[in-house]
A and B are shown apart, each in its own frame.
Chain A
Amino acid sequence: MPSARRVELESLLRARQLDRTLTSAIPWSTSRDVAATGIASLDRALGGGVARGHLSEVVGPRSSGRTTVLCRMLAAAVNRGEAVALIDTCDRFDPLSAEGAALDLSKLLWVRDVGNALRALKAMNLVLQAGGFGLVAFDVADVHAAALRQFPFTTWMRMARVIEGSQTVAIVVASERLARSPGGVTIALEPPPDASTAQWCGVSDRARFLRAIDLRPRVVGGR
């Protein structure tokens, strides 16, 4: 009888499209469609890339490489021929350095200087509901925690529901963990321990320049 009740309960959940919470319905357990991030080691750690149709997040403190990872993901999506979008809540995106990371800016929809986080959230929902984008990023890394707490509790679940089953990858870029859907991943970037994590070139002070920064990503996967 318990198994019959379980089957009945699962069928009810499926009828209401709430079956994502079931362990028997993990969508990517057999085969899942993923989007490569463009960083080989990260793709290996992710098992090929970030799952499509799911909400994932890239989190980390300042100078940990969040934006670098994001730009590489955007560039990889554009190189696959996909359109990408970036909801830039605090107007932090720098097109010049992004172009240096091989991002074709003509396929990037940049919604910038939105003003406040709630309006940015609306813009994010509009872009996700329009569909057809390969990757949609929501940059709230510099938004105060108090503003993020104003988001309704259902925000992230609704966002995950909008893209569920689609080919879109939704990425939240934040300084702390916010949300991800069951099939999504958290790419947590470790803070740089000291200035030695940056790659400096040149021997003298006048000839020195900053060449690169090290990324220390840690992947926290779904189930």
Chain B
Amino acid sequence: MENPVEPGRTLQNLVEPCSLPLYACLRVAGSRIPDPGSRFDHHIFIARDFSPRIECHGASTVVLDVSGLGRLLGDASAIGAELRRAADGSSADLQIAVARSQAAARLLAIARRGLTVAAGDAAAAVAPLPLDTLRVCMEDDVVGGGRAAARLQTTGVHLETFRRWGLTMVGEIAALPTIELSERMGQQGLALQQLARGVDLTPLVPDPGVPRFVQSMELEWPIDALEPLSFVLARLLDPLSSALERADRGAAALRLDLRLVDRTLHTRVLQLPAAMRDPKVLRTLLLLDLESHPPSHAIDVVTIEIDPVPGRIVQYSLLERALPSPETLATLMARLRALVGEDRCGSPIILDTWRPDRFEMKNFEPSLQSPVSSSQPDVASVSGEVCRAVAASAAKADGTPGTLILRRFRPPVAIRVTVDRGRPLHVAIDRRGMPGGRVERAAGPWRTSGAWWNGSDSAWDRDEWDAALSDGSICRLFHDRLADRWFLDGILD
């Protein structure tokens, strides 16, 4: 039997080509700004055809791990040629490099046009490259600002120092003594030297990829009513929901683009409170939103795009009360908003101000936190059927008068008050079903004022009174000192 192993080769020599990592880099020269749907996206698709392990650097470079392709395609040159063939015609300024490290592949792709293959030592392959290659390589990673941009600025300073030292090639930086370099430039200098030696600073972090969930339908006849549109939405949402389920994803936002017959685009974006993919829920939400915001003309083309997020995993408890599910809540809130208005349903939050009736509405999102244990105010013991509801505290630390439950009138009702030495004696209201009568007992005045520094529109200055009237009702009145008028703020109930 013929011995295929040539004399003089060691086991390491034989195993090496298969076991050593091999990376390829595709780079579009001159592309820095992320542009969805650009030719760079096309190159990402090409990279995915070759390897599931790809990593994007900025908006121009994609590195792929082609270590296992040797058996399928051949050596590094064959892999590079196959990559060039796959990308043939896609872009004239596409630069491809195949090397033993990511860093070397990236540097070669930056410096050399066309296809470059360096299957040997990475440091030797990048040694003759110009110094500026390192700067471009660092720039590729910086898309926005922040810490990376600051690091890039420091890198530029270091490269300028190298130039002043008379260094022009990458290999010359690689040859510098490490300890002295560290003493002068610190960790960043060392990182630059590692890059110059073709050593990977970080392992390849595979990009999970974000598939687009888009469905579109061009209608044969324009639709101008919601009912027929609901069937179209169902037809589009069903496959989208299936695709989300296959990818274990949920929808975080729904974007509905309706191209109308007058060539305008009616766009609605729904931000969902939780990841969901039930097509019926999504369709209901879209229809309810369109009820509130109908398109101006008939619809020609319907496009739905979903922003995917990882699927929601919920561990229910046997011991806690079940809260409404996010899908149920989203549908309920959409229906309520359509019924009563956008800002008239939700949870109130108290604003940090002394202004009366200080609150604003926010989305109702009950959290699954553990119940509060007995934080209720004390209730005085009672006898028989009579009990005394003592509000939280008569004299709160903030100095507000007793926090009894108030039924507030919005806006306050104008009243006529007979006053003796500043104290209300009699209350009369010209509205049916409102309290009124002689003031049996009163407490006050509690004076509050504020926002006078903002101008007269938002300023308030009032004296509040709690008054028990002869008809049995206990009211909160106030005297608006700016307008010199009396109002009924609410009824204590």
Chain A interface (Cβ within 8 Å of chain B)?
38-42, 45, 61-69, 71-72, 75-76, 78-83, 91-102, 104-115, 119, 122-123, 126-127, 130-134, 141-142, 144, 167, 191-195, 198-202, 205, 208-219
- Contact of A216 with B386 in the complex, beta carbons under 8 Å: yes
Which residues of chain A come closer than 8 Å to B435, judged between CB atoms? 62
A61 and B375 form a contact (CB under 8 A): no
**Chain B positions 311-329 with a Cβ under 8 Å from a chain A Cβ:** 320-325, 328-329
- Does B370 count as interface, using CB distance less than 8 angstroms? yes
With A39-B389, A119-B340, A208-B443: A79-B406 Cβ-Cβ less than 8 Å: no
Q: Which residues of A contact B410 (CB under 8 A)?
A: 91, 113
Given contacts A106-B365, A114-B344, 10 further A-B contacts (CB under 8 A): A72-B376, A81-B370, A95-B359, A96-B357, A110-B346, A123-B339, A134-B321, A209-B402, A210-B474, A213-B492
The answer for the CA separation of A102 and B371 in the assembled complex, in Å, is 12
Query: Is B340's CB under 8 angstroms from A92's CB?
Result: no
Return the chain B residue nearest A38 by Cβ: B376
A81-B321, A111-B344, A130-B331 given; A63·B472 CB < 8 A = yes
In Å, the complex CA distance between A96 and B348 comes to 9
How many Å from the CB of A111 to the closest CB on chain B? 5
Chain A residues, Cβ within 8 Å of B433: 142, 144
Q: How large is the interface on B (under 10, 10 to 19, 20 to 34, 35 or more residues)?
A: 35 or more
Q: Is B163's beta carbon under 8 Å from chain A? A: no
| B389 / chain A contacts, CB cutoff of 8 Å | 39, 65, 68-69, 72, 212-215
**Contact partner of A96 among B350, B370, B446, CB < 8 A?**
B350
Cα distance A72–B387 when bound, in Å?
A: 13
Cβ–Cβ < 8 Å partners of B147 in chain A: none
Q: How far is the CA of A68 from the CA of B402 in the complex (A)?
A: 13
The complex places the Cα of A192 from the Cα of B468 at a distance, in Å, of 10
Most A CB within 10 A of own CB, among B321, B335, B341, B433: B321
Given the complex of chains A and B, what is the CA–CA distance between A130 and B333 in angstroms? Answer: 10
22 residue pairs bridging A and B, Cβ less than 8 Å apart: A41-B379, A41-B387, A42-B387, A75-B376, A79-B375, A100-B392, A101-B391, A102-B392, A110-B347, A112-B345, A113-B340, A122-B339, A130-B328, A132-B322, A133-B324, A208-B443, A209-B446, A210-B466, A213-B404, A213-B492, A215-B388, A216-B386
The verdict on B377 contacting chain A, using a C-beta distance below 8 Å, is yes
- B331 neighbours in A (Cβ, 8 Å): 130
Give 3 nearest A-B pairs by CB, closest first.
A100-B403, A132-B324, A195-B468
**When the two chains form their complex, are residues B358 and A130 in contact, meaning their CB atoms are under 8 A apart?**
no
**Nearest CB of B to A57, in Å:** 15
In the complex, what's the smallest C-beta–C-beta distance from A29 to chain B, in angstroms?
24
Chain B residues within CB distance 8 Å of chain A: 320-325, 328-329, 331-332, 335-336, 339-341, 344-350, 357-359, 361, 364-367, 369-377, 379, 381-382, 385-396, 401-410, 423, 433, 435, 440-444, 446, 466, 468, 472-474, 490-493
Q: Is the CB of B328 within 8 A of A132?
A: yes
Which chain B positions have C-beta within 8 A of A101? 376-377, 391-392, 403, 405
Query: Is B379 touching A40 in the complex (CB atoms < 8 A)?
Result: yes
CA distance A67 to B372 in the complex (A): 22
| Cβ A201 vs Cβ B394 within 8 A | yes
Contact A92-B372, Cβ < 8 Å, known A126-B332, A132-B323: no
Chain A min CB distance to B397 (Å): 12
List residues of chain B with CB within 8 A of the CB of A205: 423, 442-443
User: Is A76 a contact partner of B376 (Cβ separation < 8 A)?
Assistant: yes
What residues of chain A lie closer than 8 Å to B357, measured between beta carbons?
94, 96
Q: Are A194 and B472 in contact (CB under 8 A)?
A: yes
Q: Determine how close the nearest CB of chain B comes to the CB of A161; give it in whole angstroms.
A: 19
The CA-CA distance from A30 to B108 in the complex, in Å, is 83
Q: Find chain B residues with CB under 8 A from A200 CB.
A: 441, 443
Please name all residues of chain B whose beta carbon is closer than 8 Å to the beta carbon of A210 when the two chains form the complex. Answer: 401-402, 404, 443, 466, 474, 492
A176 CA / B118 CA spacing, docked (Å): 90
Q: Which residue of A lies closest to B371 (CB)?
A: A81
Chain A residue at smallest Cβ distance from B465:
A210
Chain A: which residue is nearest B368 at the CB level? A81
Bound CA–CA A113/B361 (angstroms): 12
Q: Is B372 a contact partner of A211 (Cβ separation < 8 A)?
A: no
Closest to A106 in B: B347
Distance from A31 Cβ to chain B, minimum over Cβ atoms (Å)? 19
Contacts A101-B392, A194-B472, A199-B388; A112 near B406 (Cβ below 8 A): no
Contacts A198-B441, A201-B394, A215-B386 hold; do A96 and B339 have CB atoms under 8 A apart?
Answer: no
Q: What are the residues of chain B within 8 A of A69 when measuring CB–CB? A: 389
Contact across chains for A192 and B472 when beta carbons are under 8 A apart? yes
User: B376 near A102 (CB under 8 angstroms)?
Assistant: yes
Assembly CA distance A40 to B389 (angstroms): 11
Please report the C-alpha to C-alpha distance between residue A193 and residue B440 in the assembled complex, in whole angstroms: 12
Decide if A79 touches B371 in the complex (CB within 8 Å): yes
B324 engages A98 (CB within 8 Å): no
Closest Cβ of chain A to B383, distance in Å, is: 8
Q: Considering only CB atoms, which chain A residue lies closest to B365 in the complex?
A: A106
In the complex formed, the residue of B with least CB distance to A83 is B366
Complex partner residue of B468 from A64, A198, A201, CB under 8 angstroms:
A198
B402 contacts across to A, CB distance below 8 A:
209-212
Contact B493 A214 (CB under 8 A): no
Q: What is the minimal beta-carbon distance from B227 to any residue of chain A, in angstroms?
A: 20
**CA gap between A217 and B340 in the complex, in Å:** 33
- Complex Cα–Cα for A201 and B321 (A): 40
A96 to chain B, nearest CB (A): 6
Taking CB atoms, residues of chain A closer than 8 Å to B372 are 78-79, 102, 104
Least distance between A79 CB and chain B CB atoms (Å) = 5
Decide: A111 and B345 in contact? CB cutoff 8 A.
yes
Contact call A92/B407, Cβ cutoff below 8 A: yes
> By the criterion CB–CB under 8 Å, are B325 and A198 in contact?
no
Interface contact B405-A64, CB-CB below 8 Å: no
Residues in A whose Cβ lies below 8 Å from that of B322? 132
Cα(A41)–Cα(B69), bound, Å: 79
| Interface contact B350-A45, CB-CB below 8 Å | no
Nearest to B345 among chain A residues (CB) is A111
- B354: shortest Cβ distance to chain A, in Å? 11
Contact A63 B491 (CB under 8 A): yes
A198: B residues at CB distance < 8 A: 441, 468, 474
A83 neighbours in B (Cβ, 8 Å): 323-324, 366
Contacts of A39 in B (CB 8 A): 379, 387, 389
Are B387 and A67 within 8 A (Cβ)? no
- Is the Cβ of B385 less than 8 Å from the Cβ of A217? yes
Q: How far is the CA of A217 from the CA of B376 in the complex (A)?
A: 20
